[in-house]
Structure 1
Amino acid sequence: MALVGIRVIELAGLAPAPFCGMVLSDFGARVIRVDRTKVAMAMDSQARGKQSVAINLKKPQGVAVLRRLCIQSDVVIEPFRQGVMEKLGLGPRELLLENPRLIYARLTGFGQSGPCAASAGHDINFLAMSGLLSMLGRSSDKPYAPLNLVADFAGGGLMCALGIVMALLERSRSGKGQVVDASMVEGAAYLGSFMWKSRSLGLWNRPRGQNLLDSGAPFYDTYRTADGEHVAVGALEPQFYSQLLQGLGLDPSTLPPQMSVSDWPQLRQVFTERFATKTREEWVRVFEGTDACVTPVLSLDEVDRHPHNRERGSFLQDSQGVESPRPAPVLSRTPATPSPGRDPFVGEHTRDVLQEFGYGPEEVEGLLAAGVVECGKARARL
């Protein structure tokens, strides 16, 4: 796998940082998650392939343990608010002095500088500050955040993983590590570069929800079918739009021109009524093999059964039968090989990892007895 040989210390956090660690793990990195002690269960649902060490960072000995782990690793993923690691003496300045090759990735909402750097927030706040939230939502409705995907996972976790990989690539030439300042506000905004750079094309010059790609156009929207399911329509180009009308059994001469914006509400009503006459699967059969850009809106329970996804193996199951997407993209020579095992319990690998990092068996037992670290055990499932 592409990242084999890379050792990562991931400080336990929520959503973006665990996803970043899982991406690195899926592509071969050794990811060790550092959990707090006295925690009943981990909140990390993206722990595939990771190991867990539980360390009490309120004790100086615990800070010393974490320091050793960090300076003997390639990457640190840190998701805390500004200044937390500095108070522990484990900021990038200190750790890079001891390990100049270290990649120190700081994943936060607002970044490491600026008036908001120390402020709390969540995906919806970061998305709002990026400018993108103002563009998301139906016409005449309030802005609407699409789950917590854009800022947390795309602008945060994925951008942070990209930054880490680029820093590792640069290190292969210079031999030097560096700090990755991954701001979810900036990551989300960067994902939306097309919005900024296409404004001069007239794609976004109308109010929210009334433009070509934001649900304003009736030929770029979703429609309810006779069985209460939905189909997605993306027939933008004239040749695709023509096939859409043909499949719907509509005569173009009886309809307003495709790009007559003032007639879009009327056209949407026609499409709404027509799609409601057949079930989703009936429409799938009508448009199968065409370029009308009509696809079923699949639920999470359906995606693995779709013939296309099934043939490509786009979804996989772990040893517990839990289904999730296969890592992407697919590399031809060094593809990701995600671990099929269950997620680790908090502190499950404490003994093994500490010994690997140079602690003798007696030292490990002493740390356990002093409450500096914990060793979690698998719990029976009754």
Structure 2
Amino acid sequence: MRAPAPLSGLRILELAGIGPGPFCGMMLADHGAEVIRVGRPNSGGGVSDDARDPLLRSRRTIALDLKKPEAAAAVRRIAATCDGLIEGFRPGVMERLGLGPDVLIADNPKLVFGRMTGWGQTGPLAAEPGHDIDYIAISGTLHAIGDAGGKPVAPMNLVGDFGGGGMMLAFGMLAAMLQAKTTGVGQVVDCAMTDGSAVLTSMIWGMRGQGRWNDQRGTNLLDGGAHFYDTYETADGKWLAVGAIEPQFYAALRRVMGLDGAEWDAQFVPAVWLKLKQELVVRFKQRTRDAWVAAFDGHEACVAPVLDFEEATQHPHNVARGTFVTAGGIAQPAPAPRYSVSGTVAPRMGEAADGATILAEAGLNEAEIAALA
């Protein structure tokens, strides 16, 4: 029998938001924390969240209109029972609601108050609106993504919202909660997507400092500039990902594709990359994607098919590892990472609001609960 999930025993209050805040809550819930989500009421009195959204899985919910003083007071009571809180409003909003960190940490000295914003709590842009693409723009990250000679390409909202935002906040909150368990002292975690997206590029900054990376996107080792690290279209309009960096993998790529001639020996000479890439473009279009996958099978050339979402759920490796699951009729990624001793939480979707129970747990009496209802 497996041990409980690693974060079992932690209690987190999450105030409804979009993108990175819910992702942080999902990560904590997936790994065992009890996450209570305060959602906005809909016209029927329930929570306005979409039950099909995997970002909202595996928590209990309560519908409260935080603009009403009695609802804000209830949040304050719930927060007093929690180890951490997640909020993603603009700076100053929680303070205007009477729910700022000074108030809630005074109520609960060990509380870790997680604040998720794009620009951060301080700085000249702190009060400005923005989205993922804006935040990664000023960190230098967006400039580095795209084809040579082309425009910067938005990497969906993975780098700012989720990698540099929600995941960074989950890490920061866990670090602060670990310290609070030892010291009894809570604190604010100021998570800005500008900061987080910059941290994600630390290796690139290192290569830049070593003179191994230049600011012309699409011309470097890992940004599609090298002929042995790029994607290539195949005869059926599908794509292959080639990552044959190390000499043994590059040798395997050459062997399978019959890349003979001295020009292919100059693997790490950027001056020849474009010419060799043009040759690979022609060669890869001579077979279908799956024919190439079969040709490379067993050769350790670091070549993989580029799969769409539906194909990804059916790939044998993903099936064997259970990388994707279905919960509430919605296909979605399974919790990750995995543990040798502990389990993770099987995703649960679309749970009904459980406000009365949550309020009772926070110490509200029947009359107070009825007034909020």
Q: TM-score of the superposition, structure 2-length normalised?
A: 0.94
Out of 318, 327, 342, the position equivalent to 2:349 is 342
Secondary structure, counterpart of 1:302 in structure 2? helix
1:362: how far off? 3.5
**Residues 17, 157 of structure 1: 8 Å contact kept:** yes
Q: Which amino acid aligns with 1:355?
A: A
Bigger drift between 212-221 and 56-65 goes to 56-65
Q: Once the two structures are superposed, what CA deviation does each residue of 1:306-334 show, in whole Å capped at 9, x if it has no partner? A: 2211111111111x221111222111111
Bigger drift between 299-308 and 115-124 goes to 299-308
Q: Does 1:329 find its partner at 2:314?
A: no
Query: How many Å separate the matches in 2 of 1:88 and 1:367?
Result: 17
Which residue in the other structure is 2:144 paired with? Answer: 135
**Residues 109, 183 of structure 1: 8 Å contact kept:** yes
Which residue in the other structure is 1:27 paired with? Answer: 31
Query: How many Å separate the matches in 1 of 2:156 and 2:145?
Result: 12
Which residue in the other structure is 2:120 paired with? Answer: 111
Q: Does 1:16 find its partner at 2:20?
A: yes
**Residues 50, 343 of structure 1: 8 Å contact kept:** no
Which residue in the other structure is 2:271 paired with? Answer: 262
Secondary structure, counterpart of 1:19 in structure 2? helix
Which residue in the other structure is 1:2 paired with? Answer: 6
Q: Once the two structures are superposed, what CA deviation does each residue of 1:10-30 show, in whole Å capped at 9, x if it has no partner? A: 000000000000000000111
Query: How many Å separate the matches in 1 of 2:107 and 2:249?
Result: 59
Any residues of structure 2 matched to 1:143-222 within 5 Å, and which?
A: 143-205=152-214, 207-222=216-231
Moved over 6 A (4+): none
Q: Once the two structures are superposed, what CA deviation does each residue of 1:81-118 show, in whole Å capped at 9, x if it has no partner? A: 00001112211111111100101000111111111111
Q: Which amino acid aligns with 1:41?
A: S
1:253: how far off? 3.5
Which residue in the other structure is 1:37 paired with? Answer: 41
The gaps in structure 2 that reach 5 residues or longer are none
Query: How many Å separate the matches in 1 of 2:137 and 2:62?
Result: 35
Secondary structure, counterpart of 1:359 in structure 2? coil
Any residues of structure 2 matched to 1:291-370 within 5 Å, and which?
A: 291-318=300-327, 320-339=328-347, 341-345=348-352, 348-368=353-373
**Residues 144, 215 of structure 2: 8 Å contact kept:** no
For this pair of structures, how many residues does the alignment match?
Answer: 364
1:255: how far off? 4.1
Q: Once the two structures are superposed, what CA deviation does each residue of 1:41-68 show, in whole Å capped at 9, x if it has no partner? A: 3158211111111112222111111111
Which residue in the other structure is 1:70 paired with? Answer: 79
Q: Which amino acid aligns with 1:329?
A: P
1:250: how far off? 2.1
Q: Which amino acid aligns with 2:351?
A: P
The gaps in structure 1 that reach 5 residues or longer are 369-382
Q: Once the two structures are superposed, what CA deviation does each residue of 1:337-360 show, in whole Å capped at 9, x if it has no partner? A: 233x32235xx1112211222223
Query: How many Å separate the matches in 1 of 2:246 and 2:209?
Result: 20
Bigger drift between 356-365 and 98-107 goes to 356-365
**Residues 111, 182 of structure 1: 8 Å contact kept:** yes
Q: Which amino acid aligns with 2:343?
A: P
Query: How many Å separate the matches in 2 of 1:47 and 1:289?
Result: 40
Secondary structure, counterpart of 1:14 in structure 2? coil
User: Relative to 1, partners in 2 of residues 1:256 and 1:16: Cα closer, same or farther, differing over 3 Å?
Assistant: same
Which residue in the other structure is 1:87 paired with? Answer: 96
1:206: how far off? 5.5
Q: Which amino acid aligns with 1:277?
A: Q
Query: How many Å separate the matches in 2 of 1:266 and 1:195?
Result: 25
1:177: how far off? 1.1
Quote the RMSD (CA, aligned, Å).
Answer: 1.6
Query: How many Å separate the matches in 2 of 1:309 and 1:234?
Result: 20
Q: Does 1:100 find its partner at 2:109?
A: yes
Bigger drift between 245-254 and 112-121 goes to 245-254
Any residues of structure 2 matched to 1:222-301 within 5 Å, and which?
A: 222-253=231-262, 255=264, 257-301=266-310
1:202: how far off? 2.9
Query: How many Å separate the matches in 1 of 2:264 and 2:36?
Result: 60
**Residues 29, 58 of structure 2: 8 Å contact kept:** yes
Q: Which amino acid aligns with 1:18?
A: P
Query: How many Å separate the matches in 2 of 1:105 and 1:31?
Result: 13
Query: How many Å separate the matches in 2 of 1:210 and 1:43?
Result: 42
1:218: how far off? 1.1
Secondary structure, counterpart of 2:236 in structure 1? coil
Which residue in the other structure is 1:374 paired with? Answer: none
Secondary structure, counterpart of 2:90 in structure 1? coil
Which residue in the other structure is 1:375 paired with? Answer: none
Q: Which amino acid aligns with 1:337?
A: V
* Identical counterparts, % of pairs: 46
